[in-house]
Amino acid sequence: MPKMKPLPLAEPLDGQKLSKPSVRQRVLNWFQRRWIFAMALIGISPQPQIWTQNDIAPTEFAFKARKWWRLACAIPLPFAACVTLFFLGSRVLATTKAQDLDALLRAVLPAASLTAGFLAAALINAQADAKGLRRKRVDALRECQRELEPIRQAFDALLIDFNNRTAKGADLKRFLDCVCRVGGFTFGGSGPGGNLIDVKRIDDIVDALEQLSGTLSRPKHYRHLVEQLGGGPAEDITSLRGVIVARWQGVANAVAKVRPEAATDDNWKYLSFWEDLVEHALELATRTRRLAIRVHFEDVTRLRAMFAHLAWLVAVAVAAPLVGLGFIGNTEAKAGLAAVAIVGMLMILASSLILLYRWATQRLHDEG
């Protein structure tokens, strides 16, 4: 038999090669890539409507950039600002009398104490607010688990119904694999004090439900599945109506906990009923996953930022004046410490007000 020449996978339209992008388009693409990289450098990740492989790298870089910027704003940048203020103050206030500098440093201490008390109260309030919000999220997660548990038991019963069936095609095996991932062992999160479902488990359930939804939503995806369930030739199948997927009475008992009316009129036997149940379970599981992420991976960035503000306020507006009054007799050094105490306290107070405003708006958003 003569050896056949391999053919290309696809031929260009009309036998012509695809043309390269124009110079203008290439220049625009170059500037767009540089702009995305610049935004990622300051911590802004791309938000495309349709994600592609090229969007993953800038997003990961933006997450890392935000992490390093937060660390820089906590330690190196405030320290550099204090050193700069010290040298500027020692030059600008060098002609001020020592008695006036001492009075200025003493005047800073009451204001610093008042500001420190304000920040400490805000930190305690924010911590209590975060605990209350977490408690509400945990209660909402438990409620979602209570609603999801009987649905998972129904999928477990459906999987048991197929244990005694021997003829299983490839499409039916994939279908049952997704059913097994949705069901599996039931978790104890419905009762008070029960275990909360972890993010990995609920993410696997959502992924399995998405595959089931994609399979049962379009005829070209479920034709071979219906054929393997005994619904006739694949080319003649256009609907899920009348396709029997369950026969065991235990499935009806499990479905009765979710939809009692479906268990009484035998709708639980048909694949169309399971399509509706999959869509309902997918919506519920997606909401459960969102709550699980917020519960297990709680964001404490703002609490850390408020603690850093309080720590720097104590170092700048309390420790610096005390050191200047008790241990330093040089006029230039006292002038530098006065500049650090006054300007640093005002900068920390302004930054704290911005942080509290963002905290309040985010809290209203979470409650809404």
Q: Of all residues in the chain, what percent carry a pLDDT higher than 90?
A: 6
Residue 188 pLDDT grade (very low, low, confident, very high; cuts 50, 70, 90): very low
Give the DSSP letter of residue 234: G
In a domain, 240, yes or no: yes
pLDDT of residue 281: 92
pLDDT of residue 13: 47
Residue 299 has pLDDT above 80, yes or no: no
In a domain, 331, yes or no: no
Residue 61 pLDDT grade (very low, low, confident, very high; cuts 50, 70, 90): confident
In a domain, 272, yes or no: yes
pLDDT of residue 50: 61
In a domain, 186, yes or no: yes
Q: Which domain holds residue 263?
A: 141-296
In a domain, 8, yes or no: no
Cα 118 from Cα 317, distance rounded (Å): 14
In a domain, 271, yes or no: yes
Cα 255 from Cα 233, distance rounded (Å): 29
66-112 pLDDT, tens digit per residue, is 778 878 888 888 888 888 988 888 888 877 787 888 888 888 888 88
Cα 183 from Cα 174, distance rounded (Å): 14
Residue 259 has pLDDT above 90, yes or no: no
Global pTM? 0.67
pLDDT of residue 9: 43
3-state helix, strand, coil in the chain (%, to 5): 75, 0, 25
* Number of separate domains in the chain: 1
Q: What is the mean pLDDT of the chain?
A: 79
Dihedral over Cα of 55, 61, 66, 69: its sign = negative
Say whether 114 sits in a helix, a strand or coil: helix
pLDDT of residue 187: 44
pLDDT of residue 285: 92
Beta strands in the chain (DSSP E): none
Buried b (16+ CB within 10 A) or exposed e, 113-133: eebbebbeebbeebeeebeee
Pick the more confident residue, 188 or 198.
Answer: 198
pLDDT of residue 308: 85
The residue-averaged pLDDT of 20-32 equals: 79
In a domain, 114, yes or no: no
> Do residues 142 and 332 touch, judged by C-beta distance below 8 A?
no
Residue 205 has pLDDT above 80, yes or no: yes
> Do residues 269 and 256 touch, judged by C-beta distance below 8 A?
no
Cα 235 from Cα 223, distance rounded (Å): 7
In a domain, 156, yes or no: yes
Cα 345 from Cα 359, distance rounded (Å): 21
